[in-house]
Amino acid sequence: MVEKVVASYPGSFKSRIPDTYFVPGRYEELFSLVQNFEVVTVKDDHTEEHLRIYDAEKVMSKLQFLPEYVQEATYHGLKNQRMPAQHYKIVADKWGKKDASTKKYVETPEIIFYRAAMLAAKGIVDNDPSLDYEETVKDIFERFERREIFPNTPYMANGGHKLISNYISERAGENASADLINELEQEKRIREQLFACFVLPIYDSRDSILRETLPNAADIQASIGGTGFNFSNLRPANETIHGTGGNTDGPVSFMATYSNVLGKTMNQGGKREGANMFMLDYNHPDIMRFIYSKRQDGEIPAANISVAIYHPFMEAVKSDGEERFYPLKNPHHNPKLRPHIPEFYTAKQLQQTIEVSKGNSKAKISMELAENGIDVLSPWLGEGMSEEYRIIGKIGEDGIVYIDAKKVMHHLSYGAWYNGEPGMIINGTINDQNPTHPRNYKEFLLDQSSPKSREIISEIQKRDINKPLELLVEEFISEKDIDGRPINLPIGVGVMEATNPCGEKPLLPYEACVLGHVSLEKMVIEDANSPSGYNFDTEKFLESSRLIYEILDNAIDQNAFTLPLIEQTQKSNRKIGVGFMGLANLLYKLELPYNSQEARDFVDDILKVWEDETDKASYDKASKFGAFPNFEYSHHRNGAKKRNAIVRTIAPTGTTGFAAQTTGGMEPEYALAYSRTTVQGTRVDMFNPVLEEKLEKYSFFLDSEEKKRFHCYISDFNGGKGSLQEFELVKGKNESDSNFEARLNNLNKIKKIFVTTYDISPEDHLYMEAVVQRHVDDAISKTTNFRNNATVEDVERAFLMAYDLGIKGITFYRDGTRKDQPLKVKGEKTPERNERRSLRDLIIERLDKPRPEIVAGPQEKVQTPFGKAAYIRLNYEKDELGRDIAPYESFVDIGRGDEDLSAIAEGYGRLLSLAIKGGIPVEYIVASQSNIGGKSQVGIGESKIKSLPDAIAKGLVMAMNQESKMQNVLRHALEGNGTLDLTDNPNSQTNGKKPKSKKSGNFCPSCGGGQLMIKEGCEICDCGFSRCG
């Protein structure tokens, strides 16, 4: 068989892979393994797809010239399936090089690891020539193979291509085929962009928005980098542009443009969907439109959004009375260059915005003004929110627009509850710890301890000899050009206003960061004397952290930057992100529940020494190669010289954690069994391996059937729970009490250890994050998960708690509130979104629907006090069998004679139809019109008609009763039942039947269609939605 496979490449493969390049007899078997390696993926329809992912000839043409240990690792990896087959596919998707013609991968994981190890080793050996390069490459390769450490995805995907290409070329010499030479030439052209995180500024000009930042971001994303932006420099929507006479679109419109170009059109080098973070300051005039910008999935599809929060906002949220109000700011205020623009947003500007929107249906507004001219209103109100939250601010006596911080916080929390957007980035806390904040530069200048600072001060004093020096320096460092760019700050000094897409890396404009991660799960040693069977190897953890530190710091000098200004900014501060992954699996191995104080104490202890060791690595390297250039402008300047302004960051490590076969970052395990879907469409079904291991130790299965039942409970396609907390044992027929109790104890032990993200309270999520944040000089990417039944108030409390704990960024996610969850419990049905769309939007959508094909209904004659009969028709939308779907419209006709009265009746009918089409229950209309009295009346007793509205109400009741009878006749006819139930009482019960349902007056949040019905005390819909779960 092997001979036939090799022979299928006549005269090419075998002739250029001599036995001398492989272990004798190995290459043919290895070729067969590569050629026939299959990944079986399960599609959404549960059918299987078999994929051969490697271009075997090109893989082997490279592998033949690589060291024997790489060949052997490849052989044993494929032969012994060291990773599940789907892991190979995802590693290839994210990190591997693909052949342009065959669309298959030309790198196995081992070739990828070797290539990246070559680059890492080169940086280390260049700094210490006493080290042996080949031995260093092998050491790092083996650590990658053991899944102990990894740099971020751009490093693994882009790093080392030139080195491995040159290495193979030198070894191949004259034995290199034309195909191999072409392949290596292509590889040399790959840009070695190693950084994952970038922040780019956006200033208030077309050039900045469209000609500078957007193209720069596109270049970054093409090389697998993610980008973050703060749009707060842009003036709000509908402001007049004096240069053109037109009106601005506002920041949210530009966000949509960026999202489509960067996220959907560009894609990150084909490796992952474009990653972006869009931010807006809490005091920007368009803040409400921003908060609601992702109410519909897909509006800004390829970006996370977060509100940038500063301390004054949180102080206002915690205040009562007038202290809870804060002024909105004009982003393009510039006292020197735009003195006509006030610092704060005014009522006059708001009124102008509203007037523009009246004349332009496409114009968007963020606020409205009440009729009293004082109350500021939100155009949006989340369903279920009290009308009190419609009023979000007021016009002050000074004519400035003031916003109620408590109301804004509630709207923000509603958005996070609705679909996880927006998050909240605490820029106040971030800038408290910003190492190169302008205040540090100000201190450097005022200190005048260096020739450089004295020279600058001398120039500043010439501006105005009568002003205090401190005020002059403050004006100097705050000065901006007309578009908002700082003029006098050194490169790499400034206020942090934005973060990378996942929020763990606050950065200055044009700053970047490279990340690396140690797998905590791999930092354990087996110990039979330990209760858990493991001990944490602190020395190995610190040594691994030192190594990843070296790799990341060297990457700054090895990186092929996409923009000179990014290179200058990055090298001025040399920020890196040493981090870790696998915390959840580590705690599982050590048998420490994630949500326990014991676990928090353990994490606190190991991170204290980690913090010291990584800082020491930065101090040691600064003593050899110098501190970062902005050191003297930083808050480090009075201490020992440091190589890096920032050292530690905790990233989510989605792909990297997956490649390392461990849990992501510091997150708890999402579920003990789940499916993961990549942007390439590969779906991988996961079962936590540590759980499998501990089930051997704490077995609670009576027999194989119970074990099978447990695995189905966790992971079955049609009912997997992901969590085992509600799993119950069944006592065996002849099982002793003592044996059953022992099994219960083991199950309870497993339940205590193996908590998942939804088993952990939001408070315990935040407590653990706060512990980690104490030892991280940057920020953390972590999601606090809520179950679907959490409330807006739960989210709001968690936001406030996170701020008080000193956490720098917060993202909340309520299960089932996004259509495309990358992780989903196997078999889990997506919970219905416990929310409804904006009432206004939903009504307009319903009114714009085309007229149904079948509409019919009864007409009733009712006398009126005007001596004329009114004919009231109530039409229903019906299906093809004549069954009612919902009331659709109503007509009121008085007949001929009195044209004025006929016009009034027709008007009533049109209003009724609008109300009914808009979803208002007919019963509510009846209640609002019944018993309205005028001078004239007709009839007596229950037949008394007091007015035209009263006549319409009674006519509608008669029509509903008649329609109900006809529907009963139809239903029984369709069922073939000879008996008829013409009961008018909607609450009557016969033959044990349940009460009929009634409309609740609320719209279905799931299908957006008809009204919810109340049945057995619960709101339900025909589509399957239920308020009661």
134 and 237 in a single domain? The answer is: no
> Which pLDDT score is estimated for 687?
81
Strand 498-499 versus strand 506-507 pairing type: antiparallel
pLDDT for res 16: 40
Q: Which of 119-128, 373-382, 567-576, 888-897 has the lowest mean pLDDT?
A: 888-897
Which residue type occupies 214?
Answer: L
End position of a domain, from candidates 392, 409, 432: 432
Q: Higher confidence at residue 350 or residue 941? A: 350
Residue 835 in this model has a pLDDT that exceeds 70: no
| CA neighbor of 701 nearest in space, from 740, 675, 661 | 740
Segment among 237-246, 482-491, 531-540 with least mean pLDDT: 237-246
- Decide if pLDDT at 99 tops 80: yes
* The overall pTM is greater than 0.85: no
Question: From the CB of residue 84, how many other CB atoms can be counted at a distance below 10 Å?
Answer: 15
Res 7 pLDDT > 60: no
Residue 1005 in this model has a pLDDT that exceeds 90: no
Provide mean pLDDT across the span 525-531. Answer: 96
pLDDT of residue 933: 83
Assess whether 420 and 480 both reside in one domain. Answer: no
3-class state of residue 639 by DSSP: coil
Contact present, 121 and 137 (Cβ < 8 Å): yes
User: pLDDT by residue (tens digit) across 132-149?
Assistant: 999 999 999 999 999 999
740 falls within a domain: no
320 and 377 assigned to the same domain: yes
Tell me: do 675 and 568 sit in the same domain: yes
For the segment 303-313, the average pLDDT, to the nearest whole number, is 95
Give a three-class secondary structure readout of 262-311.
Answer: HHHHHCECCCECCCEEEEEECCCCCHHHHHCCCCCCCCCCCCEEEEEECH
| Domain assignment present for 719 | no
**Which residue in 291, 326, 327, 330 sits closest to 308, CA to CA?**
291
- Locus of tokens 């120039």: 459
Q: How far apart are the first and last CA of the chain?
A: 57
Residue range 430-438: mean pLDDT, rounded: 97
- Write down the pLDDT at residue 946: 87
CB atoms inside a 10 Å sphere around CB 113? 27
pLDDT(266) > 90: no
C-alpha–C-alpha distance, residues 300 and 279, integer Å:
12
Question: What average pLDDT score do residues 726-733 get?
Answer: 92
38-52, 75-89, 838-852, 983-997: range with highest mean pLDDT: 75-89
Q: Tell me what pLDDT residue 756 has.
A: 93
| Whole-angstrom Cα Rg for the chain | 34
Which percentage of the chain shows pLDDT scores above 90? 59
Task: Give the torsion through C-alpha atoms of 142, 147, 150, 154, to 10 deg.
Answer: 100
Q: DSSP state, 959?
A: H
In a domain, 714, yes or no: no
Q: Is residue 736 part of a domain?
A: no
Q: Would you say residue 583 has pLDDT above 70?
A: yes
685 and 822 within one domain: yes
- pLDDT tens-place string over residues 49-91: 788 999 999 999 999 999 999 999 999 999 887 777 777 888 8
Average pLDDT over residues 24-37: 88
Residues 691 and 673 in one domain: yes
| Residue whose token pair is 């082997």 | 60
Residue 568 sits in the same domain as residue 595: yes
Tell me the pLDDT band of 213, cut-offs 50, 70 and 90.
very high
Contact predicate 335/342, CB 8 Å: no
Q: What pLDDT score was predicted for residue 996?
A: 40
Q: Higher pLDDT residue, 20 or 662?
A: 662
The C-alpha atoms of residue 584 and residue 521 are separated, in whole angstroms, by 8
Other beta carbons less than 10 A from residue 603's beta carbon: 22
Residue 236 sits in a domain whose CATH number is: 3.20.70.20
Q: What would the two tokens of residue 826 be?
A: 């196997």
E strand or H helix that includes residue 521: none
Closest C-alpha to 12, from 169, 165, 177, 174: 177
Shared-domain flag, residues 444 and 385: no
CA distance linking residue 1016 with residue 1021, whole number of Å: 13
Name the residue among 368, 371, 394 with its Cα closest to residue 381: 368
Residues 6+ apart with CB under 8 A from 770: 805, 806, 807
Residue 726 lies in a domain: no
On whether both 396 and 515 belong to a single domain, the answer is no
Is residue 823 predicted with pLDDT exceeding 60?
no
What integer pLDDT is reported at residue 683 of this predicted model?
A: 58
Domain count, the chain: 6
Residues 6 or more apart whose Cβ sits within 8 Å of residue 734: none
Last residue of a domain, one of 415, 432, 449: 432
The rounded mean pLDDT for the chain is 86
Look-up: residue for tokens 């019944």? 930
Rounded (to 5) percent helix, strand, coil in the chain: 45, 15, 40
User: Is residue 502 a contact partner of residue 579, using CB atoms and an 8 Å limit?
Assistant: no
* pLDDT for res 347: 96
Strand partners, 884: 878
> Could you tell me if residue 605 is inside a domain?
yes
Instruction: Kindly tell me if the per-residue pLDDT of 512 is higher than 60.
Output: yes
Q: Residue 879: its pLDDT value, please? A: 78
pLDDT at 855 over 90: no
Instruction: Round to whole Å and give the CA distance between 310 and 786.
Output: 25
pLDDT of residue 988: 37
Q: Which residues have C-beta within 8 Å of that of residue 527, sequence separation ≥ 6? A: 533, 534, 535
- The answer to whether residue 298 scores a pLDDT higher than 70 is no
Residue showing tokens 């309870």: 748
Return the higher-pLDDT residue of 826 and 918.
918
- Element counts in the chain: helices (H) and strands (E): 35, 31
Are 384 and 449 in a shared domain?
Answer: no
Residue 247 confidence (pLDDT) above 90 = no
Q: What is the pLDDT of residue 900?
A: 81
Q: Judge whether residue 184 has pLDDT over 80.
A: yes
Q: Is 5 helix (H, G, I), strand (E, B) or coil?
A: helix
Residue 296: pLDDT over 80: no
Task: Inform me whether the pLDDT recorded for 274 exceeds 70.
Answer: no
Residue 265: predicted pLDDT: 58
pLDDT for position 260: 85
- Mean pLDDT, residues 475-496: 94
Residue 641 sits in the same domain as residue 763: yes
741, with CB counted inside 10 A (0-12, 13-18, 19+), is exposed
Residue 505 included in any domain? no
How many angstroms separate the CA atoms of 76 and 74, rounded? Answer: 6
Query: Range of 535's domain?
Result: 511-698+750-783+805-830
Amino acid at 197: C
**Confidence label for 832 from pLDDT (cuts 50, 70 and 90):** very low
Are 613 and 471 within one domain?
A: no
Mean pLDDT computed over 752-781: 95
β-bridge pairing 197-199 and 855-856: unpaired
pLDDT of 270 over the 60 cut = no
| Residue 794 in domain | no
Sheet holding 998-1003, edge to edge: 998-1003, 1011-1015, 1018-1020
